[in-house]
Amino acid sequence: MNGSARNSPRLVLFDVDGTLVETGGAGRIAFVEVLEAMFPETGFEDAVAGVRFQGKTDPVIIDEIVRNAGVSDRFSTRAGEFWSRYVATLGEVLSRPGLRRRALPGVVAMLEDLEGRAGVYLGLQTGNVEAGARAKLEAIGLGRFFPEGGFASDHWDRRELVRMARDKLARRSRRSRRSWSETRSTTSPARGPTASAPSRWTAAGSRGPSSKRRDRTRCSTISPTSRPCAPLCSTGSDPPFTFDQLS
């Protein structure tokens, strides 16, 4: 990494579920409880069981569930009601005794370390709607680290969320989008780097991984992989990684 890149501001975006926190399936529980309350004549357990949640935004997940349950048309006229009730129910579910909720190992130390580093900005890039993401983080005491992000309430397509998070944080820092010096990553602070993991997004303005022309604007995205976290966790002044190593 050259000197100017090292001294430029960096944006590091984190996913929420399975990356920062574990919430005992609170989102799934809240989805089912609200849908069953709104459509009591319809069973949703089988409809939910047939949906893969990982990597999807909340609106896409709900769309698949209501289609599986055969209530898609009726749901479309009550979608606003559903999301309001979901956020309220999620907060209640997260407060239930016995629900397994925690920050994943190493997360707090890593966030505190990054937060204290000059030129580093933390944000979220998550398939949760914003109120849902914030409810999960606040329940575990992590909300203070993330002033902005890209959420499913901004756009249903997860590929758009990196750009939205970047633009929000750029505006917040009073910098143009082009000022960010960013590095792409598929690393989890709780599970470590996976160098061979495929990129699931392309930075705005780039022509993709095979292009010789690269957009100057890039971004670190932290999302679940499969290894333990220790190499990325540090409370010292000089953590054992650089942003180059997050790519």
Q: pTM score, two decimals? A: 0.71
Specify the CATH number for the domain of residue 220: 3.40.50
Do residue 90 and residue 201 come from a single domain?
no
- 192 bridge partner residues: 188
Q: What does the block give as tokens for 159? A: 């590929």
Do residue 75 and residue 117 come from a single domain?
no
Domains in the chain, number? 2
Do residue 203 and residue 81 come from a single domain?
no
Distance CA 67, CA 72 (A): 5
**Domain range spanning residue 10?**
3-23+101-246
Do residue 126 and residue 47 come from a single domain?
no
Strand pairing category for 10-14 and 120-125 = parallel
Do residue 139 and residue 233 come from a single domain?
yes
Do residue 150 and residue 221 come from a single domain?
yes
Distance CA 108, CA 226 (A): 19
Do residue 185 and residue 142 come from a single domain?
yes
φ, ψ of residue 129 to 5 degrees: the values are -65, 155
* Per-residue pLDDT tens listing for the chain (247 residues): 555 555 567 889 999 999 999 999 999 999 999 999 999 999 898 899 989 998 899 999 999 999 999 999 999 999 999 999 999 999 999 999 999 999 999 999 999 999 999 888 899 999 999 999 999 999 999 999 999 999 999 998 888 888 888 888 877 765 544 454 444 443 444 444 332 222 222 222 222 333 333 333 344 555 554 333 333 333 333 332 233 333 3
Do residue 121 and residue 79 come from a single domain?
no
Do residue 81 and residue 159 come from a single domain?
no
Do residue 89 and residue 155 come from a single domain?
no
What is the 3-class SS of the chain, one letter each residue?
Answer: CCHHHHHCCEEEEECCECCCEECCCHHHHHHHHHHHHHCCCCCCHHHHHCCCCCCCCHHHHHHHHHHHHCCHHHHHCCHHHHHHHHHHHHHHHHCCCCCCCEECCCHHHHHHHHHCCCCEEEEEECCCCHHHHHHHHHHHCCHHHCCCEECCCCCCCHHHHHHHHHHHHHHHCCCCHHHCCCCCCCCECCCECCCCCCCCCCCCCCCCCCCCCCCCCCCEEECCCCCCCHHHCCCCCCCCCCHHHHC
Do residue 154 and residue 189 come from a single domain?
yes
